[in-house]
Amino acid sequence: MPSTVGGPAAARPAEGPFGRIMTQFVNEVNDKQNVSTQMVNGMLSGEEIPLHRVMIAMEEAGVAFQMMVEVRNKLLEGYQELMRMQV
């Protein structure tokens, strides 16, 4: 029976070089999102963070997320193409 989202297979760490690369990529995107959120919260709470630095951090996080989504889409397309191949 295939695993469901959040099932035992979802908790298993990524194995192999490709899995490690993808895990690192997702962690980097997450870090950019966290930095952006911290900068926005800091600026809103009165810290002297220049607006342009906050905007740059937000854009970096947005671009990184968009790239991650596009990589996922390409991987999914490749997988679907493999599944359509006749053996």
What's the rounded Cα separation, in Å, for the pair 24 and 20?
6
Q: Is residue 31 part of a domain?
A: yes
CB 32 within 8 A of CB 60: yes
Q: Is residue 73 part of a domain?
A: yes
For residue 68, the enclosing domain spans 16-84
Q: Is residue 10 part of a domain?
A: no
Q: What is the pLDDT of residues 8-48, one digit of tens each?
A: 555 666 688 989 999 999 999 999 999 999 999 999 999 99
Against a cut of 0.85, is the pTM above it?
no
- Tell me how many domains the chain contains: 1
Q: Is residue 48 part of a domain?
A: yes
Q: Is residue 4 part of a domain?
A: no
Q: Is residue 6 part of a domain?
A: no
Question: Which tokens go with 29?
Answer: 């995107």
Q: Is residue 75 part of a domain?
A: yes
In the chain, the percentage of residues whose pLDDT exceeds 90 is 77
